Amino acid sequence: MAALSDPLEICVKASVTVPNKLGDCPFTQRVLLTLEEKNLPYDTKLVDLANKPEWFLKINPEGKVPVIKLDEKWIGDSDAITQALDEKFPEPPLATPPEKASAGSKIFSSFIGFLKSKDPNDGTDEALLNELVSFNDYIKENGPLYQWRTNFCGRLVPWPKTLPYGDFIGTL
């Protein structure tokens, strides 16, 4: 693993209601979770997105957060940032191992089929139950699907893209 002499600089959304606090940006939360999981030091710079400072627009003309400085280059977009961090700092690996990536992959489509069904006898409830039982059996046999040093559930990739968890990072 590459060593860091200084903390990584990351620009994040400032709270709109509480001064000097992290805002509710799920993309920022995703990157901060990655930094925490990889145990990398970082220095946050809070950015008021309603009144973007000139220094921020100079490093990121699009004015979006998060933005992180890695190898003297500013990188935007949480996908690009987490990928770059995983490449530069591969331990611990945060990607789902390929042999486990498809486990439970049919649950969502089975659930949608169940929700859209108007016929109580069409078998969509059984299909969903079968997928859930199959996934549960897989977890019992193979252990957890994701590698975490902390004990909370969720997958790093989609979770913060869909649910804003506010000032969660301080609880790690």
Burial 38-48 (b: 16+ CB within 10 A, else e): bebebebbebe
Answer yes or no: 11 catalytic: no
Catalytic pick among 11, 22, 25, 67: 25
For the chain, state the CA radius of gyration. Answer: 20
User: How crowded is the C-beta side of 42, counted as CA atoms within 13 Å?
Assistant: 25
Task: Kindly state the tokens that stand for 119.
Answer: 């016929």
Distance from C-alpha of 117 to C-alpha of 112, rounded to nearest angstrom: 8
Of the candidates 131, 144, 124, 142, the residue with the CA atom closest to the CA atom of residue 105: 131
| SS3 category, 23 | coil
Q: Which residues are catalytic?
A: 25
